[in-house]
Amino acid sequence: MSDPAQMRELDHTAPGPREKMLETELSKCREEVDMLRHRIARTDSELERRADDGLQQDSHQAVLQRLGGFFLGKRTMHTLAYERYSWRYYALMIPTIVCSATIAAITATVPDSALVVTILAAINTCLISILQLLGYQSLKTEHMKAAKMYGRLSDLREKAVNQLHLNRHAPAGAQDSHAMMSDFLRELEVKLADMAPALPAVPLGLQKEAEERVKATLKAREDWEHILAPPTGPRPPVRSGASGPPPRPPRPRSGVDRDMIEGAEAVFFREREDAARQEPAGPTRVVPETVWVAARGTPAADACAAPPSPPRVRPAASPRADPPAHV
């Protein structure tokens, strides 16, 4: 048989049921801690990915916004140049047509009009030479084509903005947006390279005027978007099946009003009982005036201010004699 000291030592070294339970709980806690750490790490990576996607989306939006302002400015410049050169072209071309028609009419109607015809022919030749020298017709055509080209590029930009907005709510929107922006910028670079040789020069004065007009347009667009923006505050509750404004809640009575009403009612009933004991019963009963003064403006006083009048008795109709029979 073993020694008792050795048995006590074995008892101390051997784990008991409580120690086993504690070790089990400790292992479970460690597993939960590891699971929480893994979940936190996964959440952090997801948040970082979403933040990167959001920054990428914001950068794409900023690029498209700058391109929109650039296209609008270029289109406005070429539109203003087209309007100016068109006005100059028509200002010189219409007198040329009038002079040609006048020369033909004078030659046919007035025989001795060589001097007048010569002067008109010289004026007509000068106008035609000025038109050919300045080239207003070709300039206005080139500026019109350039404005249309920038209009088509602006339409492509609007399409890219809509696609970017749709990709924002898609599961793989960041990758799709990045690929879409890469294709869009590559296509835009090719189109601008093809347009560059055919673009006419714009005068400096028209560039400043176009810049001011674009700033005013963008400011008006921002103001209009601010007006059309939905309200940010909480929306009032909508009652189903009801029309018109919501009913006003009843005004809560204060403690002073409640005490005054209760006191006035107590005074009224007490004085009415005293008057009923002192006065004989009759067709009419007098209510003390102090009650109306004390409880004026209260529901009790309003209810008692106009006591019901006795029912009006209609007098019985007197019997009528039958009219005499006609013979």
11-39, pLDDT tens digit by residue?
A: 555 556 777 777 777 777 777 767 766 77
For the record, the structure tokens of 266 come out as 């107590």
What is the percent of the chain with per-residue pLDDT over 90, rounded to a whole number? Answer: 7
Task: Provide mean pLDDT across the span 263-284.
Answer: 65
> For residue 310, is pLDDT > 60?
no
Task: Provide mean pLDDT across the span 296-309.
Answer: 51
Higher pLDDT, 326 or 193: 193
pTM, entire model: 0.50
* Separation of alpha carbons 180 and 43, rounded Å: 28
Model confidence pLDDT, tens digit, residues 74-131: 888 899 999 999 999 999 999 999 999 998 888 888 888 888 888 989 999 999 999 8
Task: Provide mean pLDDT across the span 186-193.
Answer: 86
For the record, the structure tokens of 3 come out as 């020694």
| Contact of 160 with 95, CB cutoff 8 Å | no
DSSP string, 237-278: PPPTT--SSPPPPPPPPPHHHHHHHHHHHHHHHHHHHHHHHH
3-state secondary structure of 322: coil
> For residue 62, is pLDDT > 50?
yes
Q: pLDDT at position 69, please?
A: 82
Q: What is the mean pLDDT of the chain?
A: 71
Higher pLDDT, 55 or 94: 94
Residues 6+ apart with CB under 8 A from 239: 246
Choice among 51-60, 109-118, 291-300 with the minimum mean pLDDT: 291-300
Task: Provide mean pLDDT across the span 253-281.
Answer: 63
Q: pLDDT at position 64, please?
A: 83
For the record, the structure tokens of 306 come out as 């106009």
Q: Minimal CA–CA distance to 193: which of 244, 221, 153, 235? A: 153
Confidence of residue 287 (pLDDT cuts 50, 70, 90): very low
3-state secondary structure of 30: helix
Tokens 């667009």 belong to 221
Confidence of residue 293 (pLDDT cuts 50, 70, 90): very low
Q: pLDDT at position 286, please?
A: 46
3-state secondary structure of 191: helix
Q: What type of residue is 300?
A: A
DSSP string, 138-187: HHHHHHHHHHHHHHHHHHHHHHHHHHHHHHTTSTTHHHHHHHHHHHHHHH
Higher pLDDT, 48 or 10: 48
Confidence of residue 204 (pLDDT cuts 50, 70, 90): confident
* Separation of alpha carbons 21 and 142, rounded Å: 90
| Count of C-beta atoms within a 10 Å radius of residue 187 | 13
